[in-house]
Homo-oligomer: A and B are copies of this chain.
Amino acid sequence: PARDEILVDAETFPTDGYIAESAARMTGCRIRAVPAAEIGAACGPRTAVALVNHVDYRTGRLHDLPGTTAAAHAAGALVVWDLCHSAGALPVGLDAHGVDLAVGCTYKYLNGGPGSPAFLYVRRDLQPRFDSPLPGWNSHADPFGMAPSYAPADGAVRGRVGTPDILSMLALEAALEVWDGVAVEDVRAKSLALTDFFLECVAAYVPRGRVECVTPAAHAERGSQVALRCEDAEEVMRELIARGVVGDFRRPDVLRFGFTPLYVGYADAERAARVLADVLAERHPGGGPPGAGGTGG
């Protein structure tokens, strides 16, 4: 049968899902949502492509990129990885693992600032077949030829659209300069040390039972964030931000703390846990003794 199925990570970042739905509608495919860990096994003879988030934006769980990619390929499917929460935080190995396609943003661990440019990866041998639904003068083989018909450029240029946002590109260029001479393996080591240390501090400072860690303890399953389930998480995050500890609230009950190893240090991690404990103590004084119990999940 024709490949008319798009598999989507069931916990996908919503925008990914919206775009996948739109692509499915325009191409006559149908969407099937599957838990990320089961995507590889779910790929079948009708699967055209699977869309998976390398790190779950809510829980911070790191998914198995090599295994899922290999399983999809064995079924004849392509995989698109969303790297928003892993690019700049940990080694990904797109080439090494034969990944087909990847997308991501530069405003999280690549420090490009709000609304900075996105990126696209297309495996080298797929590039001649890459067919953009958004062709533009800037992806044309002869951009200033102003030819009436479209002829895509070779290589990476084919993924461009129109005039890029020059100011954002300049800011991103400066942001990426801090990576000169930095190995992503070293960044990953510090990231894991930071998130381990933060979890230790939370266990030491926060009364038992007030928060539950939903980010996996195993290093191989952890991105560069820590997500804590917490009662009244929205109000708690508001109070943290007011005290200079800037994380995210994710509905319904998650406090999300991202650790960007190039500029977040151990003192920041310790302070974040201490301020969290203070906020929780002020909201419900005497809520129980400190202890590691709450953070083991």
Contacts and interface: CB of A to CB of B under 8 A. Distances in A.
A242 interface: no
A147 B18 CA distance: 10
Interface in A11-30: 12-15, 17-19, 21-22, 26-27
A137 B105 CA distance: 14
Contact of A146 (B14, B149, B165): B14
A1 interface: no
A93 interface: no
A166 interface: yes
Interface residues of A, number: 45
A151 to B, nearest CB: 10
Given A27-B26, A145-B251, A15 B136 contact: yes
A163 B26 contact: no
30 contacts: A14-B140, A14-B146, A14-B147, A15-B137, A15-B162, A17-B149, A18-B135, A19-B135, A19-B136, A21-B135, A21-B149, A22-B133, A22-B134, A22-B135, A26-B26, A26-B27, A26-B133, A33-B148, A107-B163, A115-B165, A115-B166, A115-B167, A115-B168, A144-B251, A146-B250, A165-B165, A165-B167, A165-B168, A166-B168, A168-B168
